[in-house]
Amino acid sequence: MPLVTLSDVLQPALKQGYAVGGLVTLGWEDMRAFVAAAEAEECPVILQAGPGCRAHTPLPVLGKMFRHLAEEASVPVVAHLDHGYTYDECAEALDAGFTSLMFDGSRKPLAENISDTRRIAEMAHAAGISCEGEIGFVGYSGGEASAGTDPAEAATFATETGVDAMAVSVGNVHLQQDRDGGLDVERIAAIEAVTDVPLVIHGGSGVPHAQRAQLARETSICKFNIGTELRMAFGAALREAVNSDPERFDRVTILKDTEGPVMAAARVVLRNLKGAGA
């Protein structure tokens, strides 16, 4: 099945009451496991290349990896640039075959964020692909603090940028390793009241599974980005693989042992989001 755009998978999710997993990739082993998980769950998946992934592997290589996996897959696959910070970076991803660009101007003043995001959205739409933007700032566990999304600003942002999906800050935090928190449902409702753009939750690993499922069913949240939760599963599997045989040194055989556990963890994530609608 060829790659699809972000809109191709989010619009059905919006209409039918489920969400799609934006799974953060770091290498071949996890991205292959994520596609296998989506096939097992018979649901679409969004493969995401964030800044850490791009620092390790060039965008043209990632584009070829994503496209190869999509062409062999039995389910829709989106190749998504996560947290693109410049026009040139987004343009490079487009040229590399990505089908969705997420431009992050959330640290900028509102007018500049709107202007820059609109430019990326126009570039994406001219090429027939999708664009995600961010309004409000999603902070980091143990690092930068969040700035919650203002509903009025979200309405302006959605209208003036023309984005296909809008990431919001509603109590979510990047890199959170536990799920003790929860999202601000009143703020989510206020944002939903003024825009019909599919909403995205970055830092989804910190959101309790039950709330993810409920929000996927009942709100306009159509995409949860999940990274930390799956990286923890990979790390645990890798430690077990290394420690199981101290004499083993072949990286291919060691890394192969991570795919089963990572696939199983991704299946739990995807199953939880797709609900009855998918």
Task: List, for residues 112-132, the tens digit of each pLDDT value.
Answer: 999 999 999 999 999 999 999
| pLDDT band for position 204 (cuts 50, 70, 90) | confident
Question: In this structure, is residue 233 part of a structural domain?
Answer: yes
Task: List, for residues 227-278, the tens digit of each pLDDT value.
Answer: 989 999 999 999 999 999 888 988 999 999 999 999 999 999 999 998 644 4
Question: In this structure, is residue 31 part of a structural domain?
Answer: yes
How many other β-carbons are positioned within 10 Å of the β-carbon of residue 250?
8
Task: Give the residue among 273, 260, 244 at the shortest CA–CA distance from 37.
Answer: 260
What residues act catalytically? 82
Residue with tokens 């309405």: 155
Task: List, for residues 130-162, the tens digit of each pLDDT value.
Answer: 999 999 876 665 555 555 778 999 999 999 999
Query: 90-96 — which CB contacts under 8 Å span 24+ positions?
Result: 90/120, 90/123, 90/124, 91/123, 92/59, 92/60, 93/49, 93/59, 93/63, 94/123, 94/124, 94/127, 94/129, 95/60, 96/59, 96/60, 96/62, 96/63, 96/64
Asked whether the predicted pLDDT for residue 68 surpasses 80, the reply is yes
Q: What is the CATH number of the domain that holds 112?
A: 3.20.20.70
Question: In this structure, is residue 1 part of a structural domain?
Answer: no
* Dist. CA 274–CA 194, nearest whole Å: 25
The amino acid sitting at 90 is C
Residues 119, 122, 128, 132, CA torsion sign? positive
Q: Output the pLDDT for position 278.
A: 42
Beta bridge partners of 45: 77
Q: Output the pLDDT for position 179.
A: 56
Query: Do 3 and 70 contact (CB within 8 A), yes or no?
Result: yes
| pLDDT band for position 107 (cuts 50, 70, 90) | confident
Mean pLDDT (the chain) is: 90
Least reliable range by pLDDT among 138-147, 161-170, 204-213 = 138-147
Task: List, for residues 7-31, the tens digit of each pLDDT value.
Answer: 999 999 999 999 999 999 999 999 9
Q: Output the pLDDT for position 180.
A: 62
Q: Output the pLDDT for position 25.
A: 96
Question: In this structure, is residue 192 part of a structural domain?
Answer: yes
Q: Output the pLDDT for position 2.
A: 78
Q: How many domains does the chain have?
A: 1
Question: In this structure, is residue 184 part of a structural domain?
Answer: yes
Question: In this structure, is residue 230 part of a structural domain?
Answer: yes
Question: In this structure, is residue 120 part of a structural domain?
Answer: yes
What range defines the domain where residue 127 resides? 6-274
